Structure 1
Amino acid sequence: MNGFKKVDIVRGRIKFITMSLLGIILFLVPIPVVQDGKQQTTLPIAFLAGLLKDWLGGIMPILIVTIITVSGILTILCSTIYKNKLNPQGLMSSAFNVKIGWLVLRVLAVFFSWLTFLNIGPEMI
């Protein structure tokens, strides 16, 4: 069987079925919720996103800019200085060691996210 053990095949199928069912439930199955005293129908993922937005509140913009900035800095470091020191199969290498085009794109993302956060630049930004 292609060099795979039967246990591994069964385990892989169980993971596939479980994650598929989770995706179907989160994105396709509507649920009734009560918001502002009215009963509405929404998707579970939208309901969870609303809860997360309510929970994080005002810190969400700075949290997003921080995540983008840290990702950009790690991309610069892993794609230049630490390029040959990283384990090629490791998480840092696979996530942050990118080609020059993606490096430029990520640096631009950091730049534009800070411009947007600080309300600097023309209105279209």
Structure 2
Amino acid sequence: MERQQLPNSTLILIFGILSIIGCCCYGVLGIIFGIITLVMAKRATEIYNAQPELYTGYQNVKTGKILAIIGLILSAISLISTIVTFIMYGGIEGVYEMQEEILREIEQNQ
């Protein structure tokens, strides 16, 4: 019997990569892609484990799962730091004021 590609193995890898890239978008996109990737990887692993001799591409699933876990961790850190920043400085206006204050201090030190 001919071996076939594991369903969604390439998509799992792509979504794993997108979960790492998504951490730059305040962490929200990274968390979304990471969760989707982990769910898809779990399903693909179950399919593969039922009949491993029928499928190829399991390496993509494992790699995508690892990337999704890394992406989730980075995204969670990014999201938490964004929330803490908004709480400490009162939103966008507070962040802008903080940046202006830092620039003024730099100008005074020169």
Task: State TM-score, norm by structure 1.
Answer: 0.30
Query: Higher strand share goes to which structure?
Result: 1
Q: TM-score, normalised by structure 2?
A: 0.33
Which structure has the higher relative contact order (CA within 8 Å, separation 6+)?
A: 2
